[in-house]
C-alpha cells in the first residue's frame, strides 16, 4: 500500500496497514530549522521532498495561498509547478492549500469592509462570498490539472471562542456559496478538506452539510476535541489534526506522546494524524519526529464505504510550463495585480492582535458573534463626536471597496492601540483620520476625495 492509496482508503473508511499522517502546511522557517540552514537560505522543492520523506508523511501539500491574514502570498506559478512535480515524482497524496469563499472575499475586499457589509449590506456580503467561491473554483480546477488529488480550503472563519461572524449570518450569506463550491470541486474528482483554526462547534453541522471529505485543524485550545467533534459530525467525515503548537514546541516524554496519539485513536473512524496549524518555526524538532513516528500506530476502523474522489488518469495538462500556468492564473483571476494597501489610522473600536497562524485576527470578545461585538464597541467605546466621525469613515470605506473592488485593501488601525501609536510616529500623523497608501503617500483629514486621489494614483 503506497502513501496515496493509504490516504484514499482512510477517506473511504477502509482497512489500512498503518495510520495516515500529513501536514497541510510546512513553513519555510521550519524547514530551515529542520535542516539547520541559514536564515536567508532559499527553500526549494527538494527541501520539502526531503522533509516529507524523512518524516514519512503520506500527504504532500502545496500552498497556493497563505490565507487571508498573511502579509505575503506564495508565487502561484511556482506553487502549481510544485504540484506537478509532486504528482510526477512521488506516490504521495498531493494537496493544494488555497482560499475558499471566505478567504477569497476577505483578500479581495478587506476584513473590515466584509464585516461592515454583513452588518449593513448583507446582499453585498453574499455577492462577495459568491465571487470568492467563483475565484476559488477556477483555482481548484487549475490545481486538478496540475496534479492535485485534493483541495484544502483554508478559511479561518473562527477564533478561540467562536466564529467571527454569527452562525445565522454564515448560514444565510456564506454557507450556500461554500456548499456549491465544494459540490463542484468534488465533481471534478477532487477530495475537499475544510481548514480553520478556532472554535467551530456552532457550525460543525453546517460543514457536514457542505459534504466535505474531511475537516483539518481542530484546535484543542479552542475547545475542539477529536472525540467531541466525532460525536457531532458522525462517521462519514475524516478528521485531520488536533496537535497544537504548545504541545509540539516543547520536549515531550514517551508517555505524553503516547497519550496524544491515543486521543487520535479514540476519535474512531477516519483520522489523519497531524498538527492543527501546520509545522512552523519554534517547534521542537525531536517532538515532531517522535510524534510522527508514534502516529504510525493509528489504524482506521472499517466503516461503511463512502464514495470518495480518487483520480487515477494523468492530468490532462500535466507537465505545465511556468508561462502556461501564469497565463492560466491571470485568466482565472481576471488579470488581478497586487492590491493597493490603504491603512487608515483613526479613533476606532476595532482592534487587532497578532497570532501564530493567522497573522491578523479580530480581538477576542465576550459578546455573541462579531455583529454584537461591533454593535457593543460602537455604542460604548467612543464618545459621541468620535462615533459620528467613525460612522462617516466606515461609510466611505464601504463605498470605496465597492467601487475599487479587489484592487484596494483597507486596514483600519485604532489610533489608541500600540500599532496606532507606532504607525502615527512612523508616518508623522498627529491628527486623525490619517490615510496611508502603500506605506508612502499620506493624507490627513476627512476630505476623502483627496484620499481617493492618492489611491487612484497608486492604481
Q: Are strands 361-362 and 271-273 parallel, antiparallel or unpaired?
A: unpaired
Q: What is the pTM of this model?
A: 0.71
Mean of the per-residue pLDDT values of the chain: 83
Under 8 Å between Cβ of 143 and 185: no
Tell me which residue of 65, 70, 120 sits closest to 98, measured CA to CA. 65
Rounded Cα–Cα distance for residues 100 and 115 (Å): 17
**For position 403, what pLDDT does the model report?**
75
Per-residue pLDDT of the chain (459 residues; tens, 9 = 90+): 999 999 999 999 999 888 899 999 999 999 999 999 999 999 999 999 999 999 999 999 999 998 876 767 888 889 999 999 999 999 999 999 999 999 999 988 888 889 899 989 999 999 999 999 999 999 999 999 999 999 999 998 998 889 999 999 999 999 999 999 999 999 999 999 999 989 999 999 999 999 999 999 999 989 999 989 999 999 889 999 998 888 999 999 999 998 887 777 776 679 999 999 999 989 999 999 999 988 877 665 445 555 565 554 444 444 444 444 444 444 444 444 457 888 898 876 543 333 333 333 333 333 344 444 445 444 444 566 666 777 788 888 878 877 776 678 788 888 877 778 878 888 888 888 999 998 888 999 888 888 888 988 887
**For position 363, what pLDDT does the model report?**
35
Q: For the chain, what is the largest distance between any 2 Cα atoms, rounded to a whole number of angstroms?
A: 68
Rounded Cα–Cα distance for residues 79 and 149 (Å): 15
**For position 26, what pLDDT does the model report?**
95
Residue 317 CB neighbour total at 10 angstroms = 16
* The three-state (H, E, C) secondary structure of the chain, written as one string: CCHHHHHHHHHHCCCCCCCEECCCCECHHHHHHHHCCCCCCCCCHHHHHHHHHHHCCCEEEEECCCCCCCCCCCCHHHHHHHHHHHHHHCCCEEEEEEECHHHHHHHHHCHHHHHHHHHHCHHHHHHHHHHHHHHHHHHHHHHHHHCCCEEEEECCCECCCCECCCHHHHHHHHHHHHHHHHHHHHHCCCEEEEEECCCCHHHHHHHHHCCCCEEEECCHHHCCCHHHHHHHHCCCCEEEECECHHHHCCCCCHHHHHHHHHHHHCCCCCEEECECCCECCCCCHHHHHHHHHHHCCCCCCCCCCCCCCCCCCCCCCCCCCHHHHHHHHHHHCCCCCCCEEEEEEECCCCCEECCCCCCCEECCCCCCHHHHHHHHHHHHCCCHHHHHHHHHHHHHHHHHHHHHHHHEEEEEEECCCHHHHHHHHHHCCCCCCEEEECCCEEEECCCHHHHHHHHHHHC
- Prior bond of 440 cis (ω within 30°): no
Return phi, psi of residue 434, to 5°: -120, 125
Rounded Cα–Cα distance for residues 418 and 11 (Å): 46
Neighbour-count burial of 255, counting CB atoms closer than 10 A to its CB (0-12 exposed, 13-18 middle, 19+ buried): exposed
**For position 89, what pLDDT does the model report?**
95
Model pLDDT for residues 241-279, shown as the tens digit of each residue? 998 888 999 999 999 998 887 777 776 679 999 999 999
Q: Tell me the domains of the chain and their CATH numbers.
A: 3-329 (3.20.20.210), 337-458 (3.40.30.10)
Rounded Cα–Cα distance for residues 350 and 365 (Å): 11
**Ramachandran sector of residue 62 (left: φ over 0; alpha: ψ -120 to 50; beta: rest):** beta
What angle do the packed helices 122-146 and 111-120 form, to 10 degrees?
130
**For position 256, what pLDDT does the model report?**
92
> Residues with Cβ < 8 Å from 336, sequence gap 6 or more?
330, 406, 407
Q: Which three cell numbers stand for residue 135?
A: 475565484
Amino acid at each position: 500500500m503506497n502513501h496515496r492509496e493509504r490516504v484514499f482508503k482512510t477517506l473511504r473508511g477502509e482497512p489500512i496497514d498503518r495510520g495516515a499522517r500529513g501536514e497541510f502546511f510546512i513553513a519555510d522557517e521550519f524547514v530551515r530549522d529542520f535542516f539547520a540552514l541559514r536564515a536567508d537560505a532559499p527553500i526549494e522543492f527538494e527541501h520539502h521532498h526531503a522533509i516529507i520523506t524523512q518524516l514519512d508523511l503520506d500527504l504532500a501539500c502545496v500552498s497556493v495561498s497563505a490565507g487571508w491574514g498573511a502579509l505575503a502570498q506564495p508565487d502561484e506559478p511556482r506553487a502549481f509547478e510544485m504540484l506537478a512535480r509532486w504528482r510526477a515524482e512521488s506516490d504521495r497524496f498531493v494537496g493544494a492549500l488555497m482560499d475558499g469563499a471566505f478567504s477569497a472575499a476577505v483578500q479581495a475586499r478587506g476584513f473590515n469592509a466584509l464585516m461592515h457589509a454583513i452588518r449593513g449590506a448583507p446582499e453585498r456580503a453574499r455577492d462577495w462570498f459568491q465571487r470568492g467561491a467563483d475565484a476559488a473554483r477556477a483555482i481548484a480546477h487549475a490545481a486538478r490539472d496540475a496534479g492535485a488529488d485534493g483541495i484544502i480550503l483554508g478559511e479561518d472563519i473562527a477564533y478561540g471562542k467562536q466564529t467571527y461572524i454569527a452562525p445565522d449570518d454564515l448560514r444565510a450569506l456564506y454557507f450556500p456559496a461554500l456548499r456549491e463550491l465544494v459540490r463542484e470541486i468534488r465533481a471534478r474528482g477532487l477530495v475537499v478538506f475544510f481548514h480553520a483554526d478556532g472554535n467551530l462547534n456552532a457550525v460543525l453541522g453546517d460543514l457536514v452539510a457542505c459534504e466535505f471529505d474531511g475537516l483539518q485543524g481542530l484546535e484543542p485550545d479552542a475547545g475542539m476535541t477529536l472525540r467531541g467533534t466525532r460525536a457531532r459530525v458522525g462517521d462519514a467525515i475524516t478528521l485531520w489534526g488536533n496537535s497544537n503548537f504548545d504541545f509540539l514546541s516543547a520536549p515531550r516524554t514517551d508517555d505524553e506522546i503516547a497519550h496524544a496519539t491515543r486521543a487520535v485513536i479514540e476519535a474512531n473512524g477516519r483520522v489523519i494524524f497531524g498538527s492543527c496549524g501546520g509545522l512552523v518555526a519554534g517547534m521542537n524538532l525531536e517532538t515532531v519526529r517522535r510524534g510522527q513516528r508514534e502516529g504510525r500506530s493509528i489504524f482506521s476502523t472499517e466503516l461503511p464505504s463512502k464514495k470518495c474522489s480518487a483520480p487515477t488518469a494523468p492530468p490532462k495538462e500535466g507537465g505545465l510550463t511556468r508561462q502556461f500556468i501564469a497565463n492560466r492564473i491571470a485568466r482565472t483571476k481576471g488579470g488581478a495585480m497586487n492590491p493597493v494597501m490603504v491603512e487608515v489610522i483613526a479613533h476606532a473600536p476595532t482592534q487587532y492582535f497578532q497570532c501564530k497562524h493567522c497573522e491578523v485576527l479580530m480581538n477576542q470578545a465576550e459578546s455573541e458573534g462579531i455583529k454584537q461585538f461591533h454593535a457593543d464597541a460602537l455604542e460604548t467605546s467612543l464618545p459621541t463626536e468620535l462615533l459620528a466621525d467613525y460612522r462617516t469613515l466606515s461609510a466611505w470605506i464601504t463605498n470605496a471597496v465597492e467601487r475599487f473592488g479587489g484592487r484596494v485593501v483597507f486596514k483600519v488601525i485604532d489610533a489608541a492601540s500600540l500599532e496606532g501609536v507606532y504607525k502615527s510616529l512612523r508616518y508623522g500623523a498627529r491628527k486623525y483620520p490619517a490615510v496611508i497608501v502603500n506605506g508612502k503617500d499620506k493624507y490627513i483629514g476627512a476630505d476623502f476625495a483627496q484620499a481617493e486621489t492618492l489611491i487612484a494614483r497608486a492604481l
